[in-house]
């Protein structure tokens, strides 16, 4: 039986967290249980004989083979200290018969696809993200860092690895931090969030879902904290809610005299010098990513 039902109901009567135990939660909510789902495709031995410095966790729709191919040929290409994995759910019913076989063959060739048995959709992106965290903590527990990053993002792996050498190994998460987020109450908005699902008028600080980096211990901690957070379809905000339970604050990655944000969530026209100083740049089609990747191949970071 296919598990496209995303959540099961539970009740949390009392939980207090924070350094002085003063952050308390009393509510009924819907809980994401990793045991609800199973792996249709898995790579359980990906970290068996290695402890990568960085694991790149890339959520991607099952039909987006071009996006996966572009990542493999650019920033996701094999590096000694880096492991790249793609996470998918189930294709829609109209695509499933032919697409599932193609995905299985792609997985056989590249051994880098993990597929779970829930419907792959924007509304289920939070489920996918939590399952990625659970997978990371289960199968790559000794990796130093993880990075959740979308497939349409350029990643400057050279600069990122350099900065990770100086980054905290515990309790650390960094990206483009949003401090003033508010729920959209317009039902026509893609990011609509009703008061029934989220009562507060503001969000806690969270990192943009385009790409963020976390120390290896945070995957298991975020997965644990999800037991105390009501599910919402905004995956980056949801991670921020989990961080609030953990009393962990995300931090900006900045550099230079003007403290420029290194996680650029806008789309920029390619410029070699600009891109050499950024960790990510957002939203490129596969063909564009391949062009950028060709120009930046073996490009050392600028100082």
- Which pLDDT score, from 0 to 100, does residue 98 have? 82
Nearest to 162 by CA among 82, 216, 84: 82
CB 90 within 8 A of CB 119: yes
Locus of tokens 């970071």: 301
Confidence tier at 258 by pLDDT (50, 70, 90): low
Does residue 15 register a pLDDT over 80? no
The rounded distance, in Å, linking the Cα atoms of 208 and 173 is 11
Does residue 143 register a pLDDT over 60? yes
Question: Does 16 or 24 have the greater pLDDT score?
Answer: 16
Q: What is the mean pLDDT of the chain?
A: 87
Does residue 35 register a pLDDT over 90? no
- Which pLDDT score, from 0 to 100, does residue 274 have? 92
Nearest to 278 by CA among 295, 266, 289, 290: 266
| E runs forming strands in 22-131 | 23-31, 39-41, 54-59, 82-90, 113-119
Overall fold of domain 8-296: Spore Coat Polysaccharide Biosynthesis Protein SpsA; Chain A (3.90.550)
Domain chopping of the chain, boundaries? 8-296
pLDDT digits (tens, 9 = 90+) for 105-132: 999 999 999 999 999 999 999 999 999 9
**Distance (Å) of CA 103 to CA 40, 114, 124, 286:** 11, 10, 20, 18
What are 159's two structure tokens?
């600069």
Confidence tier at 9 by pLDDT (50, 70, 90): very low
- Which pLDDT score, from 0 to 100, does residue 21 have? 45
- Which pLDDT score, from 0 to 100, does residue 219 have? 98
Nearest to 203 by CA among 175, 172, 236, 228: 236
The rounded distance, in Å, linking the Cα atoms of 128 and 119 is 10
- Which pLDDT score, from 0 to 100, does residue 97 have? 77
The rounded distance, in Å, linking the Cα atoms of 145 and 11 is 33
pTM of whole model > 0.85?
yes
pLDDT digits (tens, 9 = 90+) for 202-243: 999 999 999 999 999 999 999 999 999 999 999 999 999 999
What are 218's two structure tokens?
């945070």
């Amino acid at each position: 039986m296919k598990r496209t039902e995303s959540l099961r109901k539970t009740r949390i009567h009392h939980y207090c967290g924070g350094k002085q135990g003063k952050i308390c939660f009393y509510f009924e909510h819907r809980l994401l249980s990793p045991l609800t789902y199973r792996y249709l495709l898995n790579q359980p031995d990906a970290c068996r004989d290695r402890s990568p410095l960085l694991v790149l966790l890339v959520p991607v729709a099952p039909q987006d083979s071009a996006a996966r191919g572009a990542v493999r040929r650019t920033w996701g290409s094999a590096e000694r200290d880096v492991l790249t994995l793609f996470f998918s759910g189930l294709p829609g019913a109209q695509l499933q018969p032919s697409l599932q076989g193609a995905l299985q063959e792609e997985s056989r060739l590249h051994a880098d696809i993990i597929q779970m048995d829930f419907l792959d959709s924007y509304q289920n992106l939070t489920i996918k993200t939590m399952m990625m965290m659970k997978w990371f903590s289960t199968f790559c527990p000794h990796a130093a860092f993880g990075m959740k990053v979308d497939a349409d993002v350029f990643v400057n792996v050279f600069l990122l690895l350099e900065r990770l050498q100086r980054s905290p190994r515990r309790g650390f998460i960094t990206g483009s931090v949003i401090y003033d987020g508010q729920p959209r109450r317009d039902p026509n908005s893609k990011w609509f969030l009703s008061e029934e699902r989220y009562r507060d008028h503001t969000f806690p600080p969270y990192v943009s879902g385009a790409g963020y980096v976390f120390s290896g211990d945070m995957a298991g901690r975020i997965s644990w904290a999800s037991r105390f957070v009501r599910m919402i379809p905004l995956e980056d905000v949801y991670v921020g809610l989990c961080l609030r339970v953990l009393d962990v604050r995300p931090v900006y990655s900045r550099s230079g005299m003007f403290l420029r944000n290194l996680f650029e969530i806008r789309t920029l026209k390619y410029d070699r010098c600009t891109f050499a100083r950024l960790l990510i740049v957002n939203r490129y089609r596969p063909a564009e990513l391949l062009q950028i990747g060709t120009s930046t191949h073996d490009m050392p970071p600028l100082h």
